[in-house]
Amino acid sequence: MDKIVITGGARLKGEVRISGAKNAALPIMAATLLTDKECIIDNVPNLHDVSTMARILRALGGRVSFSDKNNRLIILNKNLTSSDAPYEMVSTMRASICVLGPLLGRLGEATVSVPGGCVIGNRPIDLHLHGLRKLGADIKIEHGYVAAKAVKRLKGREIYLGGPFGSSVLATANVMMAAALARGETIIENAACEPEICDLAHFLNSMGANIHGIGSHVLSIKGVNKLHGAKYRIIPDRIEAGTFIIAGAITKGEVRIKNANPQHLMAVVNKVRQAGSRVDVKGRDICVRGGRQVLPTDVTTLSYPGFPTDLQAQMMSLLTLTRGISVITEKVYPDRFMHVAELNRMGSDVHLEKGSAIVKGVKNLSGAPIMASDLRASAALILAGLVAEGITEVRRVYHLDRGYDKLEQKFSLLGADIKRVKE
Ligand code: EPZ
């Protein structure tokens, strides 16, 4: 298995180009199931989760090809031969659940493995099922699978989609996709308004759907009889961009992040500024100049436009190096703190108190062999390795490959001493 080996100490300098958003690409790929016509999707990041979704579409009877030019996916789901998303695939990627809504919308039935446990905490799918049931689907959980059937065409309804931790990104995606082909109007209240959900809604509209309220917490979806093919370009990955903003800050470097959407990152820009770095927005570029000292800052993760949970671990790496105490509170996944033990092995001083991490700043971190527990934790440990004294070896990097497009090459081009080693 590969590991990433980093010798800490380099100040990152230069430009980095941001790839397309993983979390927009995955539901958009699922949405192509709603039409029998060809869809062309550009700016798709080349990463493992995208390959997994492509395998699922092929297992359902779709044709999927990827070309490096424009990072283009061409998908044709003309004759779907199956409505079953098998355990072997779903178990490796929770986002597979978002084929449920489009299969139900197009075929009137779907059998999708219930996604299993997850290292970032409990991740139920009750809101997905509640929304699809409201549209008229009959849903049972049998033998580890969600078996959904719509005897008649789905029917638009008013659906409230809030859960104990606010709105749900992929439940909103699932219900919106199913409602696109339903009879009548669906109103989703407490819809997620993450940029990736807006991207999905824009893609659906480019296929002929009729969705309004995009970007707000109330979505109106007027069902249509048929959707057609579309050509679409995925938005830049705000989590990748945020990871590089924090990388510039933690290494006291000078990094220009190109091809981002700064509007999607205001909470992050604001926090990194509060932590003592200079961050300037120039059109679609974000320029970071790391401050001489990192300042303690409290961070609370929230759904968009709050500070994203997917950057909490990376921000913690930065805040381990202040001259004070910061409190990081997780309001989306209260147990998403698996990276804490590994950071502490590198010399940080973080302890957990029910949903919060108390981060006492230390003078420096020291390199160590460490284990990545999930995608964003991997990125956080790499950031810590970039500033730690000596050598850091990050193992289980398959997590990283699931969601970052050539991360170590990008760091290397910015001057980091980082390499992938086969074991
Ligand atoms: C999406 O997951 C992202 N995944 C996650 O990114 C991200 O962390 C998360 O949204 C929050 O922003 C993709 O887009 C593929 P949620 P999702 O449903 O949609 C609770 C990454 O690293 N909830 O918005 O599955 C849930 O437990 C990944 O790229 C219910 O209670 O997350 C959580 O507390 C990890 N019932 C909260 O809602 C449900 O039915 C928000 O989760 C569904 C969710």
Query: Digits of tens for pLDDT over the chain (423 positions)?
Result: 789 999 999 999 999 999 999 999 999 999 999 999 999 999 999 999 999 999 999 999 999 999 988 899 999 999 999 999 988 888 889 999 999 999 999 999 999 998 866 678 888 999 999 999 999 999 999 999 999 999 899 999 999 999 999 999 999 999 999 999 999 999 999 999 999 999 999 999 999 999 999 999 999 999 999 999 999 999 999 999 999 999 999 999 999 999 999 999 999 999 999 999 999 999 999 999 999 999 999 999 999 999 999 999 999 999 999 999 999 999 999 999 999 999 999 999 999 998 899 999 999 999 999 998 899 999 999 999 999 999 999 998 888 999 999 999 999 999 999 999 987
User: 304 — alpha (psi -120 to 50), left (phi > 0) or beta?
Assistant: beta
SS3 category, 394: strand
146 CB near ligand 1 (under 6 Å): no
Strand partners for 63: 76
| CB neighbourhood size of 235 (10 A) | 21
pLDDT for res 170: 97
Taking the centre of ligand 1 as the mean of its atom positions, its distance from the CA of residue 73, in whole angstroms, is: 25
159 CB near ligand 1 (under 6 Å): no
What tokens appear for 71 in the block? 């990072």
128 CB near ligand 1 (under 6 Å): yes
Q: Which residue intervals of 293-419 are DSSP H helices?
A: 312-319, 339-345, 375-387, 398-403, 407-413
310 CB near ligand 1 (under 6 Å): yes
Taking the centre of ligand 1 as the mean of its atom positions, its distance from the CA of residue 380, in whole angstroms, is: 19
In the chain, which segments carry CATH 3.65.10.10? 2-19+236-422, 22-233
The answer to whether the beta carbons of residues 346 and 380 sit under 8 Å apart is no
| CB neighbourhood size of 210 (10 A) | 13
Taking the centre of ligand 1 as the mean of its atom positions, its distance from the CA of residue 149, in whole angstroms, is: 24
* CATH fold of 2-19+236-422: UDP-n-acetylglucosamine1-carboxyvinyl-transferase; Chain (3.65.10)
Distance CA(30)–CA(53), nearest Å, equals 8
CA distances for 314 relative to 2, 259, 341, 370, 421, angstroms: 21, 21, 14, 15, 23
For atom 4 of ligand 1, which residue has the closest CA? Answer: 23
Distance CA(295)–CA(323), nearest Å, equals 7
Strand partners for 20: 236
Which of 26, 168, 309 for mutating ligand 1's site (highest number of atoms within 8 Å of CB)? 168
CA distances for 97 relative to 92, 93, 284, 293, 373, angstroms: 11, 9, 32, 43, 21
Side-chain-side CA neighbours of 1 within 13 Å: the count stands at: 12
pLDDT for res 275: 98
pLDDT for res 117: 61
The answer to whether the beta carbons of residues 304 and 193 sit under 8 Å apart is yes
The answer to whether the beta carbons of residues 274 and 235 sit under 8 Å apart is no
For atom 35 of ligand 1, which residue has the closest CA? Answer: 310
CA distances for 393 relative to 371, 380, 381, angstroms: 8, 13, 9
Q: Is 118 a catalytic residue?
A: yes
pTM over 0.85: yes
Distance CA(118)–CA(189), nearest Å, equals 27
CA distances for 201 relative to 179, 214, 219, 221, 302, angstroms: 11, 7, 10, 10, 21
pLDDT for res 116: 67
What tokens appear for 328 in the block? 């990081």
Q: Is the peptide bond before 296 cis (omega within 30 degrees of 0)?
A: no
In CATH, the architecture of 22-233 is Alpha-beta prism (3.65)
Taking the centre of ligand 1 as the mean of its atom positions, its distance from the CA of residue 69, in whole angstroms, is: 31
The sign of the torsion formed by the CA atoms of 246, 269, 118, 325 equals positive
